[in-house]
A and B are shown apart, each in its own frame.
Chain A
Amino acid sequence: MTAVAATRPPGRLKRVFERYPFLPAFCIFIVLLALNGVFSPASLSARGLTGLLSTYLALMLLAIGQTFVVYASDIDFSNGAILSLVNVVIIVFMEQMGGSGLSVTAALAVGIGVGLACGLVNGIVVAALRLQAVVATFATSIFFTGLALYVLPVAGTPAPRLFWRTYGGRFFEVPFVVFAALGIALIVYLLVRTRLVTRLLAVGDDAQAAYQSGLPVTLIRIGGYALSGVFAALAAFCVTGDTASGDPLVGAKMTLFGVAAVVLGGTALSGGFGTVVGSALGAFIIGLINALVYFVGTPSQWQNLVQGLVILIALMLGIMVSRRARA
């Protein structure tokens, strides 16, 4: 280690890391992918990878949305509940409007609207009313869950065939989820170049300095929450496509996995530093860990425990590497 440090100009690793903060996550991702392939070769087949993508696309979207909030050193503990709410709203909407192409499109628009509205509520509560982000979004999550239970009290109600056949289907021999992932990649590529995202990072880096330099800090933070709400709605579309039904509690357990994915991806919860690519990788790391725990043949009574341990180890590895690199 010292020999390496001596031959290289100091700070080179640091510069590489600053340019690509998701590098540790990327390495963990590749290692996990390889391990999955070793223990279950079929999991790396086209079918296996498509399955992984369609299952964890929703978590990836939640994590991406969370990243924008975390950029400004806020947190959104309600995006899982927003996911549930959008899921049941579009299911009920499509059921009442019939399963035609037009009603599906309209349902998606309504879903985005609901996600955006929830995000704005969060933003106003946290940034404008200045309530503590952790507690405030926890409270709004209970409120959104209550709304979801009001809209659809019992899990069930099938989605129109058109909806889930599209999500699980293929176009020109390529699975739809691959197009969805590419579409999301394009949106994110354009989004991270917008002024809003740069300003979110500035606020997270030093809110006081941002304010003193004339940035509308409150509006910027509300913008972060709005993005998180919209991405939760997109995640809800994926869950609806994958499960073809409504469930008012479906997203509850996903919130914290989303936060874990953000941290796994190298984004600092203290704000001002991180990447969206890392969060997306983080979501797939969690998915690969869940699959790997099973593929190595962990006895059923230990599966929860081992899964938790491995996520913890992955977090530790990532944080240790990034600390060393940034020190």
Chain B
Amino acid sequence: MIKNTSIALATAVALAASLATAHAESYKIGLSNGWVGSEWRTQMIDEAKAAAAAWKEKGVDVEVLVQSANVDVPGQVAHVRNFISDGVDAIIINPNSPTAFDPVFAQAKDAGILVIATDSEVSSPDATYVGIDQTGWAKASAKWLAETLEGKGKVVAINGVAGHPANEMRVAGYTSVFEEYPDLEVVNEVNGNWDQAQGQQAMQNLLATYPDIDGVWVQDGMAAGAWKSIMDAGKTGDIAATGEIRKDFLDLWVANDLNSGAAVNPPGVMASALNVAVFMLKGRELKEPATAGQYGNALYLPIPFIDGDNVAKVHEELEGKPGYYSYTSQLSIDEAEALFK
């Protein structure tokens, strides 16, 4: 009797399971993040998880598996291998190296897995990059600075980590823009290693050396520090400088009416990549194949911009968020679908 019941039960479960798979599409997507040093990365993972949950309404089950830890490159290669063992349908990765994943991505592709990189481009022909163009990101804020200064004056730049691929792309971006303005002089470029304290220190030194500068091009993660030095020097009204997208900086911006502009590198890029991935898994084809960028495998997302015109509105949107929260944007499911045939 007991045996019969259990067989009946097993059959029912099996039947229910097959019905479920017949009716709902379901995908398993692995997210890999190799550095956990900033809130931006945490927000990136959280938004991607939320985006996966949102597919439920569309009748698609997206299960996400997350591996996020401070790892070296071999450690992140192991992330990818774990996902391959686990039989995921797609891997979305914020990679620690542009070139080191070529072999393991080739293995993933052989196993029939879709590989998408986000936030930082990869050279692998077996992966697609879905994210912003870091060069374009720098160009947008450089253009804002040049136009705000009406194309003339003295400018300094504060950069991140010398030799880091994203940093080099950004330097190339602003350099190409400033070259178009012959009356704009870049008097010095320094490195602040994406650290607020170092950014603040660098700005202090620059202000002491060049008291007559008109503009500052500073990368995010250091702009709040740089602005603090500018305000301490009593030059708030005299200098235009790029800003960043964290809530605590936007508070400062609105309260002091700073002359600032910020290109947005949204933490929602991984969520956007996830939405694109699901359509790819459904077998849909992109209208325009992803062939942009230096590696010819990129699909660039739009880069929002915050300046004096919309900062009040952006600030209002972030009302009640914690100070470390970054202004974000992501491709909604419908916006992602619009990219496909």
- Which chain A residues have a beta carbon within 8 Å of chain B's beta carbons? 40, 42-43, 45, 47-48, 51-52, 55, 58-59, 153-158, 164, 167-168, 239, 241-245, 247, 249-250, 252-254, 287, 290-291, 294-295, 299-301, 303-304, 307
Pairs A–B under 8 Å by Cβ, sample size 25: A40-B82, A42-B87, A43-B82, A48-B81, A48-B85, A51-B107, A52-B81, A55-B77, A55-B78, A155-B73, A155-B98, A155-B99, A155-B165, A156-B98, A156-B99, A168-B106, A243-B101, A253-B75, A290-B75, A290-B78, A291-B78, A294-B79, A300-B45, A300-B67, A301-B42
A291 engages B82 (CB within 8 Å): yes
Give the residues in chain A near B68, CB-CB below 8 Å: 300-301, 303
Q: Is B238 an interface residue (CB 8 A)?
A: no
- Sort A-B residue pairs by CB-CB distance and give the 7 closest, nearest first: A243-B100, A245-B99, A300-B68, A51-B81, A300-B66, A154-B163, A43-B85
With A55-B77, A158-B102: A168-B107 Cβ-Cβ less than 8 Å: yes
Instruction: Add 5 more A-B contacts to A154-B165, A245-B100, A253-B75 (CB < 8 A).
Output: A40-B86, A253-B71, A254-B72, A290-B78, A300-B67
Give the residues in chain A near B148, CB-CB below 8 Å: none
CB distance from A141 to the nearest CB of B (A): 15
With A153-B163, A156-B98, A243-B103: A42-B69 Cβ-Cβ less than 8 Å: no
Give the residues in chain B near A168, CB-CB below 8 Å: 103, 106-107
CB nearest to A149 among chain B residues: B163
B84 engages A154 (CB within 8 Å): no
CB distance from A199 to the nearest CB of B (A): 33
B163 engages A250 (CB within 8 Å): no
With A242-B103, A244-B102, A300-B67: A295-B82 Cβ-Cβ less than 8 Å: yes
Instruction: Kindly identify which residue among B45, B69, B81, B163 contacts A307, using a CB–CB cutoff of 8 Å.
Output: B69
With A43-B85, A243-B100, A244-B103: A252-B75 Cβ-Cβ less than 8 Å: no
Give the residues in chain A near B123, CB-CB below 8 Å: 158
CB nearest to A163 among chain B residues: B103
B81 engages A250 (CB within 8 Å): no
CB nearest to A59 among chain B residues: B74
Give the residues in chain A near B65, CB-CB below 8 Å: 294
Within 8 A of A (CB), among B66-122: 66-75, 77-79, 81-82, 84-87, 97-104, 106-107, 111
B75 engages A242 (CB within 8 Å): no
In this complex, the member of B69, B70, B79, B101 whose beta carbon has the largest number of chain A beta carbons within 10 angstroms is: B69
CB distance from B96 to the nearest CB of A (A): 9
The number of residues on chain B lying at the interface, defined by a beta carbon within 8 Å of a beta carbon of chain A, is 41
Q: A157 to B98, alpha carbons, bound, how many Å?
A: 9
Within 8 A of A (CB), among B31-59: 33, 36, 42, 45
Beta-carbon contacts of B125-165 to A below 8 Å, as 1s and 0s?
00000000000000000000000000000000000001111
CB nearest to B163 among chain A residues: A154
A242 engages B77 (CB within 8 Å): yes
A58 engages B99 (CB within 8 Å): no
Q: A51 to B260, alpha carbons, bound, how many Å?
A: 49
B69 engages A303 (CB within 8 Å): yes
Q: A300 to B123, alpha carbons, bound, how many Å?
A: 27
B74 engages A58 (CB within 8 Å): yes
Q: Is B251 an interface residue (CB 8 A)?
A: no
Q: A249 to B103, alpha carbons, bound, how many Å?
A: 19
Q: A253 to B71, alpha carbons, bound, how many Å?
A: 8
Instruction: Kindly identify which residue among B73, B78, B86 contacts A247, using a CB–CB cutoff of 8 Å.
Output: B73
B81 engages A55 (CB within 8 Å): yes
CB nearest to B49 among chain A residues: A300
Give the residues in chain A near B82, CB-CB below 8 Å: 40, 43, 291, 294-295
In this complex, the member of B42, B75, B111, B168 whose beta carbon has the largest number of chain A beta carbons within 10 angstroms is: B75
A245 engages B67 (CB within 8 Å): no
With A158-B99, A158-B123, A164-B103: A243-B74 Cβ-Cβ less than 8 Å: yes
With A42-B85, A244-B103: A156-B72 Cβ-Cβ less than 8 Å: no
CB distance from A163 to the nearest CB of B (A): 10
CB distance from B49 to the nearest CB of A (A): 9
CB distance from A50 to the nearest CB of B (A): 9
A51 engages B84 (CB within 8 Å): yes
In this complex, the member of A51, A168, A307 whose beta carbon has the largest number of chain B beta carbons within 10 angstroms is: A51
Give the residues in chain B near A167, CB-CB below 8 Å: 103
CB nearest to B70 among chain A residues: A304
Give the residues in chain B near A47, CB-CB below 8 Å: 84-85, 111
A252 engages B72 (CB within 8 Å): yes
Give the residues in chain B near A295, CB-CB below 8 Å: 82, 86
CB distance from A209 to the nearest CB of B (A): 41
Give the residues in chain A near B66, CB-CB below 8 Å: 299-300
A243 engages B67 (CB within 8 Å): no
